Structure 1
Amino acid sequence: MAQTIFFAHANGFPSATYGKLFTGLAPDFQVAHLEQHGHDPRFPVDDNWQGLVDELLAHLGEQDEPVWGVGHSLGGVLHYHAALRRPDLYRGVVMLDSPLLTGMDRMLIRAAKRFGFIDRITPAGRTLGRRERFASLDEARSYFAGKALFRHFDPDCLDAYVQHGLYREGEELRLRFDPVTEIGIYRSVPHTAPGRVKQLKVPLAVVRGEQSRIVLPHHARGVRHVLNGEHLSLPGGHMFPLEHPTLTVDLLKALFMRWQRIQERSA
């Protein structure tokens, strides 16, 4: 039976946007995921994303065996925090352009929340007032294709976002990922963690987009404290899993094969 990858998406991007990635991982792996993090009223968005981690852990607990946790941006941080709390639910964790925050990073985030400039150091400010209604799929695709964030998307991934990131409301199409929830997630970005990286008991890889302005080289240095920790990179920016899904699939498969051999030798 194929091992399970539990995928967690980036803020604002429903999991179906990553369909090309999931298809590439099958049939070697079974991919599980939530449609959208942060939209279950049982697990509200709160400071330091504790409710979002609880939501993830609740679904991981329903799996038949430990999973490979793979997360993009928001999703990588959720898996990292969840694995610190419940390492027994994991085989390993891969953070796709998700930062391992340093002490200085956490101090800056804490200050930004306290003194009201968190929107300037997260994408929340750019999300405020963003267009969320469209007359047609063609109009929506044209709009997003012209935005810098989407400019280098794989065409299939852009199509998937337009198809699955919108829903019909009357005569219009509207963003499926609630903008208020998206902004709330940015504003509550963690300045604390449930443990230190050196306490992580499963393998960890931080994969950075070579042109990323979100994850900087120092954000991955903490992996040196983890047994079988790895710092890797792929072409592209912060959105590289949707810009280069095939390269991302190849890296994940090679990484899991390598970790699997290490775990079998040490068993």
Structure 2
Amino acid sequence: MKTNSKIHFAHANGFPAGSYRVLLDSLSSQHQVIAIDKLAHNPNFPVDFGWQNQVAELVEFLHEKQAEPCYLVGHSFGAVVSFLTACQHPKLVKGLVLLDPPLITGLTSLLFKSVRRLGLADRLSPAKQAMNRCTTWSKDTDVESYFKGKALFKDMHPECIADYVSSAVKETPDAFKLDFDHRIEANIFRTIPLNMGRYKLPENLPAMIITGEKTKVCKERLIAPFIKKNKLEHLVVKEGGHMFPLEQPNLVAELINQKIAQWESMKEVV
């Protein structure tokens, strides 16, 4: 049964919102779901250090699409942007679900700051890979098979790979081409926020974090202080890697739907 609750979903870097069709369809069975298809590709909001322009981009989108506060759900890059938005614009947010956010905190942030000052940021991030990625394929290429052979995609749900190709690759008369700017993708990696310690969620905002059991991005020992500071409920997806929302989309949607239903029922009691 569909509720009156609205969810904004923010995608991971390099994965347009359409890549998450299976997950979003499952969420849409109970909620109204909206999403920016390619976050950070609006020329009015160029990528900046700390992703504050992406916060502004999301805030503008929320003002345009809904009059009441909504739930923010985000994966990876989208999770961090959602968190920053919730911290800085809490009146727009009913609740927050973070899916494996890349958090640079503590001593690690000091290391990244030093590396960034030396102009070596690409060595500690996937930015170099993004800049060097293939962006054009010949017309005889099986593009789905191409991506299935990539390590990042190896555990993904087959439908999610197909949806990624549909949303991230366009067919031209002469070739298949990447349908988003890989240079922006690289800049997002280069400009990851290094000041996360400055932010804290409002006390009364319900929030949770879901991480993958096998993630290499969101290690529990590194995020424990962040979880404690922001009073986050923490769930772990068994066998999930960093890309678990595209590996186990129906399970993730079920977890999110259950949590939002719980939050909504708590508000009714109050």
Change beyond 3 A, Cα 1:200–1:138:
farther
Specify the alignment match of 2:267 in structure 1: 263
Q: Percent identity?
A: 35
Specify the alignment match of 1:48 in structure 2: 50
Change beyond 3 A, Cα 1:151–1:66:
same
Matching residue within 10, 13, 31 for 1:11 = 13
- Residues 1:248 and 2:252 are matched in the alignment: yes
* 1:95 partner SS: strand
* Residue ranges of structure 2 left out of the alignment (5+ in a row): none
* 2:72 partner SS: strand
Matching residue within 65, 70, 73 for 1:67 = 70
Specify the alignment match of 1:207 in structure 2: 210
Q: CA-atom RMSD, angstroms?
A: 1.8
CA offset at residue 111 of structure 1? 1.7
Specify the alignment match of 2:110 in structure 1: 107
* 2:86 partner SS: helix
How far apart in 1 are the matches of 2:204 and 2:106? 21
CA offset at residue 232 of structure 1? 1.0
* Residue ranges of structure 1 left out of the alignment (5+ in a row): none
CA offset at residue 138 of structure 1? 5.2
How far apart in 1 are the matches of 2:57 and 2:138? 34
Corresponding letter in the other structure for 2:47: V
* 2:83 partner SS: helix
After TM superposition, the structure 1 = structure 2 runs for residues 130-141 of structure 1, keeping only pairs within 5 Å, are: 130-136=133-139, 139-141=142-144
Corresponding letter in the other structure for 1:28: Q
- Encode CA deviations 1:92-118: one digit per residue, 9 max, x unaligned: 111101044432232222222112222
How far apart in 1 are the matches of 2:125 and 2:34? 28
Matching residue within 175, 182, 190 for 2:193 = 190
What is the TM-score with the length of structure 1 in the denominator? 0.93
- Residues 1:32 and 2:46 are matched in the alignment: no
Contact kept, 8 Å, 1:84 with 1:194, in 2: the verdict is: no
Contact kept, 8 Å, 2:105 with 2:195, in 1: the verdict is: no
- Encode CA deviations 1:128-184: one digit per residue, 9 max, x unaligned: 311111124852111100000001110110010111111133411111121000001
After TM superposition, the structure 1 = structure 2 runs for residues 134-153 of structure 1, keeping only pairs within 5 Å, are: 134-136=137-139, 139-153=142-156
Matching residue within 19, 22, 31 for 1:20 = 22
Corresponding letter in the other structure for 2:32: Q
What is the TM-score with the length of structure 2 in the denominator? 0.92
* 2:50 partner SS: helix
Corresponding letter in the other structure for 2:11: H
Change beyond 3 A, Cα 1:198–1:104:
farther
Contact kept, 8 Å, 2:103 with 2:196, in 1: the verdict is: no
Give aligned pairs, total.
265
The ranges of structure 1 where at least 4 consecutive aligned residues each deviate by more than 6 angstroms after the TM superposition are none
Specify the alignment match of 2:93 in structure 1: 90
